[in-house]
Amino acid sequence: MKNVMENAWAIAKMGANRFGGKVKEYFAEALRLAWKILKREASTVKLTIPADTRKCRTWVAKISGLHPVYKLDREFINHDFDDEYGDKVFKLKDGFYEYNNGRRRGFIQVLNGDKKSVERDDVIAHVAVLAL
């Protein structure tokens, strides 16, 4: 709660500096924005996969649509940071993702802050419905 209030006051101050007026005039809208930011951060999921080795490169890709040759169109994502063991940590928002963790490839779905393993056929079916 403290972070929400601090963010709200900072947003209100930026609004007052940019558009003029008093800070308290901007506070109500700034508080709404601060709560949206908090909810958006809470809906992200952290996925940790091993670091690259000499034999295998590990990665995560967001499924962005259908591809005429490869079935699924992917956008590769850079990892957000390394944990204390050198593994890659990704912050993922809602959507479908494909990953390679060095041992196997797989698919996950992130929905409302939860992640679950899904099959390739389920991903293709869901993306095909969205493409219509």
pLDDT averages per 10-residue partition of the chain, 132 residues: 84 90 92 83 82 90 91 91 88 92 92 89 86 63
Q: Would you state the pLDDT for residue 42? A: 67
Q: Would you state the pLDDT for residue 113? A: 80
The 3-state DSSP class for residue 86 equals coil
**Encoded amino acid at 121, one letter:** D
CB 35 within 8 A of CB 4: yes
Alpha carbons within 13 angstroms on the beta-carbon side of residue 95 total 15
CA 16 vs CA 7, 31, 40, 49: distances in Å: 14, 14, 25, 43
The residues spanned by each domain of the chain are 2-42, 45-131
For residue range 31-68, list pLDDT tens digits in order.
Answer: 998 888 877 766 678 888 999 888 889 999 999 988 99
- Directed axis angle between helix 2-19 and helix 23-42, to 10°? 130
